[in-house]
Structure 1
């Protein structure tokens, strides 16, 4: 293909793809026909390759005819990322400050604020693993009247290698179409990975996301919410797009008590939630470890009251049977606490607290 034609063809091809991602059939059809026209012109000038160029031209003319189908196909794939959630703020124990800041930031972004006030377009949740960052996002999805699009960076990179930046553009195009919207990017630190096979894809995906955040008009009611366990891996360009950085710490005693209460709903207790909370805080438990401890405690009680649960030859007999229960006792939780170990160390907590003091709100 002649150099001048090649450059122009590549430009039209890019504009066609962009129009498809934006869901604009008129523009997509126009640029598809421009590609077809260039190829037919080449066919008339490069007679030895005319058959090849005419075949390509016919393919682009078919693309022009089928732009609506292509847009719908891509949209349907991205629309599967739209999340609905039954989780509400009441299902999130503790984290009162994080809940307030997050709800406030997203609420203002979704509302129509008078004057020249510009709400935040990016919010970063950071903290140790298991502290409830994703749960906060699910509670937001369940509580706000907004389109909620959930994305895991690791999934996009691994499943759609080479297409991830296009998918990111399509996600934000969908968010604008269905605004007010929240785009939740889980595992945001995965963009800082250094695996050679993923480095280029990660860099392109990151560039697209940052450009999309910057590119919104003030009237676009779209906010990007990201979560990370490793905020120190994010560079200045990434941090600058997320001016509101909310620390999601390990629960204190009040928060731990609320988390135990949530996971032990419906079970009578012969132990106080306050005593359980004190132990959980001392053991540096996150919300996830508290949930695991509750599961182990209930399992200990059920095994004692239903011995067939521990017998592989008899366990099949309990299908559909209502299990015998008793109130949960201190020994059930002693059993649970022995088995649930926190991966969080005090040195790591100090690192989070230092980063929160320097960069968080």
Structure 2
């Protein structure tokens, strides 16, 4: 297991930065120059050990190298650093900017549409209504939901629903996983959350999708760290949405969880609309199969039989997608027995050849059923249905 050196490197950087500031104040510019170079070196090491902030640490390293060069040329003024843009700043002034730039890296435009999602007609209708109301002119008393919680078993299409909501609005889409926000450094998670909503308001209309929200907001207890409490407090404040003069800006927060019963009560209160995303029924299963076999001949398949077996096995949408993939690969291997032997050919030669296919048959799916297993049990589904009955709506 590699040794995590980021903590010691940060401590050494802070110590060296203080040496730089002390040397500048004392007029000892040679010591200041060496300290600036040392700061740059430490930041480059940090870029290797903290990947999610790598580019930002490198940018800061280049600024420190520029400072060292200015000192060497006698161009450096005391207690100020001249940035690349020509304005005077302190080297650490861009601390907050790094979080904005990191959040901008999470932003995307979704091309997913509602038609890309098989089944879930009731869920899609509820979300479509919210999106439509958000865009229509309306009396001030009529406000769309600002927070929607999507809960249900894994693989049921919660991320796709969020993507389709963003795609239908042509909105900025921030797909935020727990791992994108959580940081072991004190205070960083809170700053990322603040930057996330600041940028989302600037780029409105925006969809902020908090995937695995349970990992961010598990029930608070006496064992909860101060950093976690601070991050959760920041998130709750942002979800509350009290932003003077910005009520006309659409920032819709969608959150997803596979374990809604683990959520903090205060978080649940910020999501008044809670939608159960269930396993696909028979008709939804057939729609999902059609989506994932598009372009292939499925006329020989008994979709009803495949759908019934999928429902019996408690397959999620993801499981059905994997089932289709296995069936397709079974057909490909059968029709292209020596496919692996072509791996020695150059790409140009491969592009001249075509993959042999045939209509999908029931035996392809029978083989796939033997390989795809659902991790869910009927007891699991009953637990979701009970929570939906008590807290959904």
The unaligned stretches of length 5 or more in structure 1 are 1-42, 44-49
CA drift at 1:272: 2.4
- 1:123 counterpart SS class: strand
Matched, 1:308 2:338: yes
Matched, 1:223 2:252: yes
The unaligned stretches of length 5 or more in structure 2 are 1-21, 33-76
Match among 275, 278, 281 for residue 246 of structure 1:
275
Q: What do you get for the CA RMSD once the two structures are aligned?
A: 3.2
Partner deviation per Cα, 1:19-48 (whole Å, 9 max, x = no partner): xxxxxxxxxxxxxxxxxxxxxxxx9xxxxx
Match among 329, 334, 356 for residue 361 of structure 2:
329
Q: Contact 1:298–1:328 at 8 Å: present in 2 too?
A: yes
Larger RCO (CA within 8 A; separation ≥ 6) = 1
Cα distance in 2, alignment partners of residues 145 and 298 from structure 1: 33
In the alignment, what sits opposite 2:156? Answer: 131
Cα distance in 1, alignment partners of residues 262 and 311 from structure 2: 27
CA drift at 1:77: 2.8
Match among 212, 216, 234 for residue 263 of structure 2:
234
Instruction: Describe how 1:34-45 pairs up with structure 2 within 5 A.
Output: none
Are the structure 2 counterparts of residues 192 and 51 from structure 1 closer, same or farther at C-alpha, using a change threshold of 3 Å? same
Cα distance in 2, alignment partners of residues 253 and 350 from structure 1: 18
CA drift at 1:176: 1.2
Cα distance in 1, alignment partners of residues 338 and 186 from structure 2: 48
Matched, 1:211 2:229: no
Cα distance in 2, alignment partners of residues 51 and 256 from structure 1: 73
Q: Contact 2:109–2:170 at 8 Å: present in 1 too?
A: no
Q: Contact 1:150–1:186 at 8 Å: present in 2 too?
A: yes
Q: Contact 1:245–1:359 at 8 Å: present in 2 too?
A: yes
Are the structure 2 counterparts of residues 159 and 146 from structure 1 closer, same or farther at C-alpha, using a change threshold of 3 Å? farther
Q: Which moved more, 1:148-157 or 1:238-247?
A: 148-157
User: How many residues are matched?
Assistant: 309
Are the structure 2 counterparts of residues 150 and 58 from structure 1 closer, same or farther at C-alpha, using a change threshold of 3 Å? farther
- 2:150 counterpart SS class: strand
In the alignment, what sits opposite 2:16? Answer: none
CA drift at 1:125: 0.5
Cα distance in 2, alignment partners of residues 307 and 296 from structure 1: 16
Are the structure 2 counterparts of residues 160 and 282 from structure 1 closer, same or farther at C-alpha, using a change threshold of 3 Å? farther
Are the structure 2 counterparts of residues 158 and 289 from structure 1 closer, same or farther at C-alpha, using a change threshold of 3 Å? farther
In the alignment, what sits opposite 2:210? Answer: 185
Cα distance in 2, alignment partners of residues 256 and 206 from structure 1: 38
Matched, 1:338 2:370: yes
Cα distance in 2, alignment partners of residues 352 and 162 from structure 1: 34
Are the structure 2 counterparts of residues 65 and 319 from structure 1 closer, same or farther at C-alpha, using a change threshold of 3 Å? same
Cα distance in 2, alignment partners of residues 347 and 240 from structure 1: 27
Q: Contact 2:336–2:356 at 8 Å: present in 1 too?
A: yes
CA drift at 1:115: 3.0
Q: Which moved more, 1:184-193 or 1:351-360?
A: 184-193
Are the structure 2 counterparts of residues 219 and 144 from structure 1 closer, same or farther at C-alpha, using a change threshold of 3 Å? closer
Q: Contact 2:99–2:191 at 8 Å: present in 1 too?
A: no
CA drift at 1:104: 1.6
In the alignment, what sits opposite 2:323? Answer: 293
Matched, 1:152 2:152: no
CA drift at 1:204: 2.5
In the alignment, what sits opposite 2:142? Answer: 117
CA drift at 1:164: 1.2
- 2:254 counterpart SS class: strand
Partner deviation per Cα, 1:94-135 (whole Å, 9 max, x = no partner): 001111111222332344431322332211000000000001
Q: TM-score with structure 1 length normalisation?
A: 0.77
CA drift at 1:151: 0.9
In the alignment, what sits opposite 1:33? Answer: none
CA drift at 1:203: 3.0
Q: Contact 2:330–2:364 at 8 Å: present in 1 too?
A: yes
CA drift at 1:199: 4.6
